[in-house]
């Protein structure tokens, strides 16, 4: 059966993986924390190196959000270890998170991370997984474009605040050009509520109501 990329709202698939920090049983070992799982095309490549350094420098901010980082590529564990060592020696940066060694490609195939037009290299995928091991956000980047770690961090914050407050987040929250750092109240589900909202609260219309958190 052909593997397909999992969909938003689905549970993360069950996989046992080898990492630079030992064996992980996914998604069992993910429960109770949010997770950012990100793949990279290969060790000892320039764009990936810039991403890993930025993930490492922002790792404390992810930890404050109860979020762990996990890297992945099809390289073997010894390659990951040597690359991590190179980054420490040459860029003065410790990589504090585990890196999955998907040398057989099994994990990448399950998650749809291998692009048929790019050989066996994994694409730059990002999976944000919540504390119940549910996939909440997926981002895909081509090999030639590095990711914004700040955007991934922003996305985790937005998802967590959305869950906690039952609201939606505007474009580029908390720096939206229309409503700033306010959030959006979900639209009314019936006529009576819509009319009640029409002339009450902050916002522009009954379907576009905002508030401060």
Q: Which two tokens stand for residue 137?
A: 């956000």
- Cα 69–chain centre separation: 9
Which helix (H) or strand (E) segment is 70 a member of?
Answer: strand 67-73
Rounded Cα gap, residues 205 and 200, in angstroms: 9
Which helix (H) or strand (E) segment is 47 a member of?
Answer: helix 46-64
Q: In terms of DSSP bridges, do strands 135-141 and 22-26 run parallel, antiparallel, or are they unpaired?
A: unpaired
Catalytic residue among 36, 37, 48, 70: 48
CA-closest candidate to residue 149, choices 19, 53, 40: 53
Q: Which residues pair with 137 in a beta bridge?
A: 128
CA-closest candidate to residue 24, choices 84, 102, 87: 102
Task: Check if 48 is active-site.
Answer: yes
Rounded Cα gap, residues 196 and 198, in angstroms: 6
Rounded Cα gap, residues 193 and 32, in angstroms: 36
Rounded Cα gap, residues 44 and 84, in angstroms: 9
Catalytic site positions: 48
């Amino acid at each position: 059966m052909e593997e397909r990329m999992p969909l938003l709202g689905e549970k993360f698939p069950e996989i046992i993986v080898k990492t630079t920090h030992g064996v992980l049983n996914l998604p069992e070992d993910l429960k109770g924390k949010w997770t950012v799982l990100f793949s990279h095309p290969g060790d000892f490549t320039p764009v990936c190196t810039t991403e890993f350094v930025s993930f490492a420098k922002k790792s404390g901010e992810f930890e404050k959000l109860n979020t762990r980082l996990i890297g992945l590529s099809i390289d073997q564990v010894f390659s990951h270890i040597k690359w991590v060592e190179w980054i420490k020696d040459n860029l003065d940066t410790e990589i504090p998170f585990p890196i999955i060694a998907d040398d057989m490609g099994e994990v990448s195939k399950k998650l749809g991370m291998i692009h048929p037009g790019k050989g066996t290299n994994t694409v730059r995928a990002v999976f944000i997984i919540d504390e119940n091991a549910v996939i909440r956000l997926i981002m895909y980047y081509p090999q030639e474009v590095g990711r914004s770690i700040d955007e991934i961090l922003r996305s985790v914050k937005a998802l967590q605040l959305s869950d906690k407050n039952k609201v939606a987040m505007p474009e580029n929250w908390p720096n939206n050009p229309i409503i700033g750092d306010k959030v959006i109240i979900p639209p009314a589900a019936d006529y009576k509520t819509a009319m009640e909202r029409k002339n009450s609260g902050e916002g522009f219309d009954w379907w576009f109501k905002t508030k401060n958190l």
